[in-house]
């Protein structure tokens, strides 16, 4: 596999991480015949036919090196070890899903009850908790969990079976402590886990681990295996009844009454609604922002623009700004100024604000910075490169393609990475051409001298200078 430098000033390459996977899969015979002891069962003979289609399997976690303690409750119901579903021939961990889902919800409700001593950002926690619960209810529909740590086990010379026993024992210790804490309604008991002993991990308490930004209270972990699917999926749906329209959320809950003659979505902001030949606007997260009393489409467009400006100004003020109508480009430039002054904390603030306002260069820069050793966070790098690529920024497309090629923030997939590089090359992105030429020259699976020649000619036509 190639490990290529992402398009960036210093050319620092990303590194490859070892991953742990959690699958939710459907196979009734496993649920009926699951043994309670930790031993190799007859699963090996029947799992080969399960396959990986969306109907039978959901890859719900694809995380680096670990399976965080606050998700161990998913494997509370008589977990056992047997033949892995996809990788290797020993050391797969299994547990029935229904009770695991119940216990995880119970644990998160316990955390919420003790938010004062466990949570740093209660609003962020509640949002993550809601997303996790919706995900469990709507997507985790199969009857078994399978924890596959094959890639992580490969880092050690011990047999995978022995490592699986150790991992399962750790999970069982976690669940015993969690169960005791809930039974006694005492969050302090969570700190008894041996992982919080000095020198065992970078976290010294459950609270410290739970509030670590990279986890997003578990939501970033639990959705990591299906990130693209979740992110692209519609969260709100226009429904019709008796020639009138309303809006439901993903859980089929009515969030806008069926009372409107027209509803049209406005990119990622909300919906223009129409009633009695007058316009209004609906933002799902905030309710009806503007009732239907705007007479013309032109005035509706003006209202939307004013709303965007007001929202941007409000956000900008939270970072100490003074512009009345800040533009994303202004914030991007302020981030660059902060970088030149060596104030990276301020730079990240402005980069993220600009990116949230749709500035694709900021998205790309964030993707790059989170790929560098000083700020390395492969999930954030993937996230921001993906946002920039989806926004059509060629450099971000290159970075996003390389995320797939090197397995950064997502499962390695060179073919998909090439697709994004080709999109970037079509837009004249020099590094995309250079990377494609390198792949077609050196990667055994994609080596193709004809394509090398083709890429060189296309680059020349695009005015791109290539160096041998």
Domains of the chain: 19-230 (no CATH), 235-295 (no CATH), 305-357 (no CATH), 359-468 (1.25.40.10)
- pTM beyond 0.85, yes or no: no
> Could you give phi then psi for residue 392, rounded to 5 degrees?
90, 20
Q: Are 280 and 292 in contact (CB under 8 A)?
A: yes
The residues facing 143 across adjacent strands are: none
Which DSSP category does 211 fall into? Answer: T
Please give the full DSSP string across 215-241, using - where no structure is assigned: GGGGHHHHTGGGHHHHHHS-SEEEEEE
Rounded CA separation 272/282 (Å)? 6
What is the full per-residue pLDDT of the chain (468 aa) written as tens digits?
Answer: 232 333 333 222 233 346 788 988 876 544 333 433 333 333 333 332 233 434 567 888 888 778 899 899 999 999 999 888 777 788 899 999 999 999 999 999 999 999 999 999 888 899 899 889 988 887 888 889 999 888 888 877 888 999 999 999 999 999 999 999 999 999 999 999 888 876 556 678 999 989 988 788 999 888 777 654 444 445 677 888 888 999 887 667 788 999 999 998 876 578 999 999 999 999 887 777 788 999 998 899 888 877 776 665 555 554 444 443 357 788 888 899 999 999 999 999 889 888 878 888 999 999 999 988 888 887 788 888 988 888 888 999 999 999 889 888 777 889 889 999 998 888 888 899 999 999 999 999 899 999 989 988 888 887 777 765
Query: What SS3 class is residue 24?
Result: strand
Rounded CA separation 438/200 (Å)? 42
Crossing angle between the packed helical segments 360-369 and 344-356, to the nearest 10 degrees: 140
Q: Are 222 and 385 in contact (CB under 8 A)?
A: no
Rounded CA separation 187/253 (Å)? 33
Q: Which residues contact 355 (CB under 8 A, 6 or more apart)?
A: 362, 363, 366, 384, 387
Query: What SS3 class is residue 17?
Result: coil
């Amino acid at each position: 596999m190639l490990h290529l430098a992402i398009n960036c000033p210093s050319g620092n390459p990303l590194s490859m991480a070892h991953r742990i996977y959690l699958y939710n899969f459907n196979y009734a015979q496993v649920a009926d015949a699951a043994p309670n002891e930790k031993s190799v069962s007859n699963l090996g003979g029947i799992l080969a036919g399960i396959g990986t289609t969306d109907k039978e399997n959901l890859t719900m976690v694809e995380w680096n090196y670990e399976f965080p303690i606050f998700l161990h409750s998913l494997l509370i119901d008589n977990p056992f070890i047997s033949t892995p579903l996809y990788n290797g021939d020993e050391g797969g961990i299994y547990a029935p899903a229904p009770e695991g889902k119940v216990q995880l919800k119970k644990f998160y409700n316990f955390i919420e009850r003790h938010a004062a001593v466990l949570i740093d950002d209660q609003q962020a926690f509640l949002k993550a908790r809601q997303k996790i619960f919706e995900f469990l209810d709507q997507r985790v529909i199969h009857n078994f969990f399978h924890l596959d740590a094959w890639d992580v086990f490969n880092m050690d010379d011990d047999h995978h079976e022995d490592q699986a026993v150790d991992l399962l024992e750790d999970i069982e210790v976690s669940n015993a402590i969690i169960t005791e804490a809930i039974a006694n309604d005492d969050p302090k008991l969570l700190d008894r886990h041996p992982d919080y002993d000095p020198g065992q991990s970078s976290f010294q308490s459950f609270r410290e681990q739970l509030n670590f930004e990279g986890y997003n209270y578990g939501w970033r972990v639990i959705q990591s295996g299906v990130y693209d699917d979740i992110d692209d999926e519609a969260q709100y749906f226009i429904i019709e009844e008796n020639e009138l329209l309303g809006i439901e959320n993903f859980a089929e809950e009515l969030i806008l009454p069926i009372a409107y003659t027209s509803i049209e979505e406005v990119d990622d902001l909300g919906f223009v609604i129409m009633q009695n030949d007058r316009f209004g606007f609906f933002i799902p997260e905030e309710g009806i922002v503007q009732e239907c009393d705007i007479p013309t489409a032109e005035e509706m467009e003006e209202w939307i623009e004013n709303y965007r400006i007001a929202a941007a100004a409000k956000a900008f003020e939270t970072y100490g700004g003074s512009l009345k109508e800040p533009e994303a480009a202004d914030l991007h430039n302020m981030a660059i100024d902060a970088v030149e002054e060596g104030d990276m904390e301020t730079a990240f603030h402005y980069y993220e604000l600009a990116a949230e306002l749709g500035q694709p260069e900021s998205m790309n820069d964030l993707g790059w910075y989170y790929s560098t050793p000083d700020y390395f966070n492969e999930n954030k790098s993937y996230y921001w490169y993906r946002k920039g690529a989806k926004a059509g920024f060629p450099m971000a497309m290159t970075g996003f393609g390389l995320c797939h090629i090197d397995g950064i923030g997502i499962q390695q997939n060179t073919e998909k990475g090439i697709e994004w590089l080709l999109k970037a090359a079509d837009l004249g992105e020099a590094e995309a051409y250079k990377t494609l030429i390198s792949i077609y020259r050196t990667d055994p699976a994609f080596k193709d001298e004809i394509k090398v020649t083709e890429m060189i000619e296309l680059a020349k036509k695009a005015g791109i200078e290539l160096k041998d």
